[in-house]
Amino acid sequence: MLLASDVLPVPEVLSAGELDHDGGPRVDEERAGPDFSAWQAAGRDGAQGLHDAVLEQATESRTPTGLVDNDAVSRLADQLPRLEAEGGDVVSALTEMAGEALGFGDASLQRVGGEGAKGHSGAPVFLVRDPSGAVVAVVKVFPRMEEFVRELSSIERLRSDEFTRLRVPEVRGVAVILHGDAPAGVLLSSVASGRAIDDIMAAVHEASPENRLRAMEELKTAVSDTAAALAELHTRPVSSGRPVAQDYLDFHTGLARRLTSQVSARADLVEQHGLDVHELSRRLDEAIDAAQRYPGKSALVHGDAHPGNFFWDRANGVTFIDTPTFHYSMDHHGEPIASPERDVSNFEQRLAHYSRQFSFSPAEAQMLLEHFRVSYREAGGSTLHDGTMRMFGARSVLNKLLQIVESLTSFNHPDSIATEHGTIEVKRKFERELEAEIDLLKKSLGWEE
């Protein structure tokens, strides 16, 4: 899951030649964007042309540092079809859009909640059902246009023919709708094949004793195929393996330090559960120093390599969803600038997290981690540096740990109703989760080696 602090805040510096006479980014006539009206007028017959043109236009938002050209975002937003939500009825407008795009009028929408299929960016997601009740598409609403355009930019790059072990959902519709007083992006896409990795893990937990072995073997295959898909993503582009962009590394090391500072500010809470904040700072500094000494080889990365963001199907392989963070891993030409350790460490940490949540034995959890790493290596994945792995691993765990700390803090508020039995049980659950994340944090930093 992403916190607000995950959004790259560093402003891009443009050279004088890239500025117009008003001091803003120069916009060539060729970059002003195509006219989408012809495809829109053609209705469903022009849909594919419209979608391809929109994805191509989204590439204009890319910059040398992986950040977003906000002027390009505005240009694209101004050209997209507009949905009218009469009386503020957004769901009806989305339903009408989905029905028209898919060719039937009696569509229905179901808001997705919980983990797994919804992805983990936090954007509202709806399942689209046809008249028979079958799920035929997904609608995702992006309250921030910048994130919407990053998703489109990412999809354009990930659907390249050079990738054979991974796929992304097909775009079925794009639009803009008012969200409050601001425009929001709307993306209608095909349904990802199969189930999310964390849902497959849940199925192992729920399997009967006689079916558990078969369920675990299916999970191992899904994890192995996901590792191979990430290995391909990290190495297949011919420009992979150049030095990681310093700006990219600096952002993540800076974020890791900020998260550590925020956790350390609650030393009174975390030290009760076994986390020495001074030792944490020392070990994190060591990991950051090691990562800065050896930045490693660049790669395209998913950027939020959570088990819920990878769907697996035996026939169709691995599908990536929830990809706006992928945009940050490429430059203005779509070439790699990021660290593969970001994906590998994040996936491993969340794999360990769900292994605990679904009551896997320590031996099963370790087996899955080793299976993922071996599969990644055998598929030709990037060479991973220990210091960089530790820095990114800690950064991933700190994100989750801070969320738990913030939840626990609310129970210690004077207005808390923690005297009630149910609330006490919830607090204890958070405390157990905190201790488990602290254990993962220590392991990520080699604390107990």
State the CATH number of the domain containing residue 247. Answer: 3.90.1200.10
Q: Tell me if 321 sits within 8 A of 305, measured CB to CB.
A: no
Print the domain residue range for 414. 196-445
Q: Which two tokens stand for residue 72?
A: 């390009």
Q: Which two tokens stand for residue 20?
A: 């117009």
- The reply to whether 203 and 181 lie within a common domain is no
- The reply to whether 93 and 238 lie within a common domain is no
Question: Has residue 121 been placed in a domain?
Answer: yes
With b meaning 16 or more CB within 10 Å and e meaning fewer, what string describes 63-88?
bbbbbbbeebbebbbebbbebeeeee
Question: Has residue 32 been placed in a domain?
Answer: no
Alpha-carbon distance 373 to 370, whole Å? Answer: 5
Q: Tell me if 339 sits within 8 A of 301, measured CB to CB.
A: yes
- The reply to whether 112 and 203 lie within a common domain is no
- The reply to whether 79 and 186 lie within a common domain is yes
Residue after which a domain boundary falls, among 190, 205, 220: 190
Question: Has residue 86 been placed in a domain?
Answer: yes
- The reply to whether 180 and 251 lie within a common domain is no
Q: Tell me if 198 sits within 8 A of 307, measured CB to CB.
A: yes
- The reply to whether 304 and 410 lie within a common domain is yes
Alpha-carbon distance 373 to 389, whole Å? Answer: 12
Q: What is each CA distance from 60 to 33, 48, 63, 74, in whole angstroms?
A: 9, 19, 8, 11
Q: Which two tokens stand for residue 49?
A: 């042309």
By DSSP bridging, strand 182-189 and strand 166-167 are unpaired
- The reply to whether 224 and 331 lie within a common domain is yes
- The reply to whether 239 and 354 lie within a common domain is yes
Question: Has residue 400 been placed in a domain?
Answer: yes
Residue after which a domain boundary falls, among 171, 190, 209: 190
Report which DSSP code applies to 120.
S
253 closest CA partner among 304, 294, 287, 293: 287
Question: Has residue 4 been placed in a domain?
Answer: no
Question: Has residue 23 been placed in a domain?
Answer: no
Alpha-carbon distance 103 to 395, whole Å? Answer: 45
Question: Has residue 167 been placed in a domain?
Answer: yes
Alpha-carbon distance 146 to 75, whole Å? Answer: 11
Distance of CA 431 to the CA centre of its chain: 26
Residue after which a domain boundary falls, among 190, 218, 234: 190
Domain tally, the chain: 2
Alpha-carbon distance 344 to 296, whole Å? Answer: 14
Q: Tell me if 318 sits within 8 A of 309, measured CB to CB.
A: no
Alpha-carbon distance 411 to 427, whole Å? Answer: 7
- The reply to whether 154 and 242 lie within a common domain is no
Contacts of 120 by beta carbon, 8 Å cutoff, 6+ apart: 1, 2, 304, 306, 308, 309, 322
- The reply to whether 176 and 306 lie within a common domain is no
- The reply to whether 146 and 216 lie within a common domain is no
Please give the chain's pLDDT, 449 residues, in tens.
333 333 333 333 333 333 333 333 333 444 445 555 544 444 555 578 889 999 999 999 999 999 999 999 999 999 999 998 888 889 999 999 999 999 988 899 999 874 433 344 567 999 999 999 999 999 999 999 999 999 999 999 999 999 999 999 999 999 999 877 789 999 999 999 999 999 999 999 999 999 999 999 999 999 999 999 999 999 999 999 999 999 999 999 999 999 999 999 999 999 999 999 999 999 999 999 999 999 899 999 999 999 999 999 999 999 999 999 999 999 999 999 999 999 999 999 999 999 999 999 999 999 999 999 999 999 999 999 999 999 999 999 999 999 999 988 876 654 444 445 457 778 888 999 999 999 999 999 998 75
With b meaning 16 or more CB within 10 Å and e meaning fewer, what string describes 358-376?
bebeeebbeebbebbbebb
- The reply to whether 54 and 162 lie within a common domain is yes
| Helix, strand, coil percentages for the chain (3-state, nearest 5) | 55, 15, 30
Question: Has residue 37 been placed in a domain?
Answer: no
